[in-house]
Amino acid sequence: MHWDAIDQVADASWKLSNEPQALSGSRSLANDASRVTHDAGPPAGQIIRQRRSAVSFDGRTAISSAVFFRMLQRVMPRAERPQLERPMPWDLWPHAPAIHLMIFVHRVEGLTPGLYVLVRDRAKLSLVQQSLNPELVWTQPPGCPEDLPLYWLLEGDAKRAAAQVSCHQEIAADSAFSLGMLAEFEGRLRQAGAWFYPRLFWEAGLLGQVLYLEAEAAGVRGTGIGCFFDDPVHEMLGVQGLSFQSLYHFTIGGPVEDRRMMTLPPYHHLHR
């Protein structure tokens, strides 16, 4: 199937000039040492190799709020710091974060099920608030770390709604939580130019990679959801005009293995 619109968008968003040098400063060794974390747990290589997308979730497994908050901490780029002092992998991303998370909490111990928003750059809080339905009440959830700009917007069982906006896929409802990645849209494109459009997807991809690994490290599993309905997502939050655009969904929870599928060790084909 050929989609003309995709070629038109690719042409229109082609980058014609070099970006101004975005990197500044060098990373000092002292800084590096302070950036290393010593969490007990399996080594990164193992997590990277064992990562798989869950094909189904059990509809039961809950995660603790501590695990939930830690996953969200890991997607915070700490945009207030110079780029090279941001936590990995955000130190490689030479742009201010553009993507915020709209989270459907289903099974997180200690948190009321409902709709939450993580603002990935605290400086953007009022921009995000002004771009959404003004009647939403923004409350910090109980136990939420001070440095995590997570807000509870709506209470209630969001399982049906989450599945509906994710192309009716049960994986968005049977997990512990699922989310939509909401990108700052018209403002950023007007400011930077059309070439920034693909960069929004790159940032979404980076977020997806972090979430896949964090899920695996926490003993649960994630799945990227590329099939979703963006307009109903925008309506749910009352997104004003083209200010925000939903770009990608993701879900994390207790996986159910499909035993009909064969799983070979990672890079099996290289070891024959």
Ligand X SMILES: Cc1cc2nc3c(=O)[nH]c(=O)nc-3n(C[C@H](O)[C@H](O)[C@H](O)COP(=O)(O)O)c2cc1C
Q: Strand 63-64 and strand 108-109: pairing?
A: parallel
CB of 93 to ligand X, least distance (A): 18
- Residue 18 has, within 13 A of its CA and on its CB side, a CA count of 3
CB-CB contact of 157 with 113 (8 Å):
yes
CB of 230 to ligand X, least distance (A): 13
CB-CB contact of 235 with 209 (8 Å):
no
CB of 218 to ligand X, least distance (A): 17
CB of 181 to ligand X, least distance (A): 11
Question: Two tokens at 187?
Answer: 């403002």
CB of 183 to ligand X, least distance (A): 15
Q: Which is nearer to ligand X, 99 or 119 (CB)?
A: 99
Q: Which is nearer to ligand X, 57 or 185 (CB)?
A: 57
> What residue spans of 21-109 are helical by DSSP H?
29-35, 44-50, 65-74
Any residues with CB less than 8 A from the CB of 86 and at least 6 apart, and which? Answer: 77, 78, 79, 93
Whether omega for the bond prior to residue 89 falls within 30 degrees of 0, making it cis, is: yes
Ramachandran region of residue 168, left (φ > 0), alpha (ψ -120 to 50) or beta? left
Q: Which is nearer to ligand X, 61 or 243 (CB)?
A: 61
Ramachandran region of residue 219, left (φ > 0), alpha (ψ -120 to 50) or beta? left
CB of 95 to ligand X, least distance (A): 20
Binding site for ligand X (CB under 6 A): 52-53, 169, 171, 223-227
Residue closest to ligand X (Cβ)? 226
Q: Which is nearer to ligand X, 53 or 129 (CB)?
A: 53
Q: Which is nearer to ligand X, 71 or 247 (CB)?
A: 247
Q: Which is nearer to ligand X, 59 or 193 (CB)?
A: 59
- Report the distance separating Cα 176 and Cα 171, nearest Å: 10
